[in-house]
Amino acid sequence: MSRVLALTDAPDDVERFCRGRELMLFRIGQLLPEQHDFTAFEQQYQKLKSACDLSTIDLVIAEYIEALPLLYFMRRDGYHCPALMIPHTNPYPLNILFYFLLIAQHPHPGDLVICGSANAASAYRHITGIPAANICTFGIKNIYRPGDRDRARSNLGLPADRPILLYTGRFMNDKGLAPLLAGYHRLRAADPELLLVMSTTHLDTRYHNQLAAQLEHVVRFQRLDRAQTVDLYNAADVYVSGATSIFETYGKAPLEAMACGLPVVVPRFDGFPYYVNDTNGALVDVDHHPQPCFTPYDFAVMNVEDFTVKCRQVLDRGTPPQHHVPDWATYDHTMEVLTELVGELLQHPRRTGEAEPSRKIDTTAYPDPVRRLLDHYELTCTDDLVHRAGHLGLIDRRQPGDTGLLRALHDEIFHTMHAETSTATP
């Protein structure tokens, strides 16, 4: 029986699409940026080596970016088997890019990155050289469905007769909440009955305090359970987001909203144009700011004026879209696809080789912005990506990196991902 090693903190999904295989679970946790450290990753890897015989593993499921250093250490030590990488993010900023470059320098023919849009998969292939495919991770479960609006509003204590805009997600600076709130207050100036409801999970205290004055006339929920979140989608009139996030490849919340019959208004950025159009919402123009910018999050910002126009258009349509989530985005479909994919990847045999403490980086395999980064920081071998990058503060993000080089990398990734129109079939 094939042996699959799952590096994850959420085994339920992996257990489902690895049925019929001998599954070995090694739990990893999602870390804050400042907790990323190769010394700690090496210690975790030694625990992994003690827990199982890595020479017997036929496939690694590496979920989240925290799994990638462990996968690299396996390859460094000569344990080569296919890897299904499920990062739930783009290959950016620098520490995430470096993790993928480490894997790319120790490749296996069966390696595959999966992400939630064809545009994101194209960017992965272009930036890292690692094969990538569009498979939604892990899809929208059927608990998200249209319900009774009056009952939903009553359950949450929301007014019965006011139009409601809804945002759900993290309260963090990559989510574009400043332009979202600015646009809301413009809309409310023309229609005082309009109400913004925000349901947040993780909260950046400093960012929250910066925006505190803009939270007037906003109803806020914190850490609702899944049933309450479904009620919230059904209570709203339009789902809105200002996210020009560098971390996400398609965004799950807009799909959850669509599954509940809610139109969505989101920026024309990242994976959103892959499934949003004027039949189920609207795409908002994005301003790409010229250099210099303080952080990577400032390179692209939702246009506030266009946001107000698109929200008003969607609110005035009156007739909500039909309840529909693309087949590729449903949970059951993604589980079927992943089950089949695991079988395909296991056709690539494992092999054991000599340990290789460091390997020279083949920079010719990468686009110019990646080569310029490596040259600028004198990262010439895989050991440099581990130790020198750490000393420079690029792994724990103490130093975000040169803004000019970051801007070039940002544009290379997201221009590759740019899509003018929605595509129904990936």
Out of 249-253, 262-266, 281-285, 337-341, which region has the weakest mean confidence (pLDDT)?
A: 249-253
Give pTM, 2 decimals.
0.88
Q: How confident is the model at residue 320 (pLDDT cuts 50, 70, 90)?
A: low
Judge whether residue 177 has pLDDT over 90.
yes
For residue 278 the two structure tokens come to 């004027």
Tens-place pLDDT, residues 50-63: 999 999 999 999 99
Q: How confident is the model at residue 390 (pLDDT cuts 50, 70, 90)?
A: very high
Q: How confident is the model at residue 100 (pLDDT cuts 50, 70, 90)?
A: very high
Residues in a beta bridge with 66: none
Out of 113-122, 313-322, 383-392, which region has the weakest mean confidence (pLDDT)?
A: 313-322
Give CA angle at 132 (33, 38), nearest 5°: 30
Q: Contacts by 368-376 with C-beta closer than 8 Å and gap 24+?
A: 368/408, 368/412, 369/405, 369/408, 369/409, 369/411, 369/412, 370/97, 370/101, 370/127, 370/409, 370/412, 372/405, 372/408, 373/94, 373/97, 373/401, 373/405, 373/409, 376/402, 376/405
Report pLDDT for 44.
97
Distance CA 214, CA 217 (A): 8
Judge whether residue 274 has pLDDT over 90.
no
Report pLDDT for 386.
96
Residue of higher predicted confidence among 231 and 204: 231
Q: Which of 272, 285, 321 is nearest to 423 (CA)?
A: 272
Tens-place pLDDT, residues 110-142: 999 998 778 788 889 999 999 999 888 888 999
Give the fold, CATH level 3, of 3-139+335-417: Rossmann fold (3.40.50)
Tens-place pLDDT, residues 278-287: 889 999 999 9
149-326: CATH, from 3.30.470.30, 3.40.50.2000, 3.40.50.10490, 1.10.510.10: 3.40.50.2000
Give CA angle at 60 (58, 61), nearest 5°: 140
Report pLDDT for 418.
59
pLDDT above 70: percentage of residues in the chain:
94
Average pLDDT across the chain, whole number: 91
Longest dimension (CA), the chain: 69
Q: How confident is the model at residue 155 (pLDDT cuts 50, 70, 90)?
A: very high
Distance CA 22, CA 2 (A): 6
Contact 257, 264 (CB under 8 A): yes
Q: How confident is the model at residue 426 (pLDDT cuts 50, 70, 90)?
A: very low
- How far is CA 89 from each of CA 86, 158, 249, 252, rounded to the nearest angstrom? 8, 34, 6, 12
- Tell me the backbone φ, ψ of residue 199, rounded to 5 degrees: -120, 115
Distance CA 129, CA 123 (A): 9
Residue of higher predicted confidence among 71 and 175: 71
Q: How confident is the model at residue 421 (pLDDT cuts 50, 70, 90)?
A: very low
- Tell me the backbone φ, ψ of residue 357, rounded to 5 degrees: -55, -35
Out of 118-132, 286-300, 389-403, which region has the weakest mean confidence (pLDDT)?
A: 286-300
Taking each continuous run of H as one helix and of E as one strand, the counts in the chain are 16, 16
Judge whether residue 423 has pLDDT over 50.
no
Residues 298/304/309/312 CA torsion (nearest 10 deg): 100
Report pLDDT for 422.
40
For residue 22 the two structure tokens come to 């001998």
Residues in a beta bridge with 7: 26, 62
Distance CA 246, CA 258 (A): 22
Report pLDDT for 116.
78
Judge whether residue 249 has pLDDT over 80.
no
**Same fold? 3-139+335-417, 149-326:** yes
Distance CA 41, CA 83 (A): 18
Report pLDDT for 420.
43
- Tell me the backbone φ, ψ of residue 239, rounded to 5 degrees: -90, 135
Tens-place pLDDT, residues 30-46: 888 899 999 999 999 99
Report pLDDT for 246.
78
- Residue 358, CB-side half-sphere exposure with 13 Å CA sphere: 11
Tens-place pLDDT, residues 208-230: 999 999 999 999 999 999 999 99
Query: Domain residues of the chain, as ranges?
Result: 3-139+335-417, 149-326
- How far is CA 165 from each of CA 168, 198, 264, rounded to the nearest angstrom? 10, 9, 10
Distance CA 297, CA 278 (A): 27
Q: Identify the burial level of 125 via C-beta atoms within 10 angstroms of its C-beta, where 0-12 means exposed, 13-18 middle and 19 or more buried.
A: middle
Report pLDDT for 417.
63
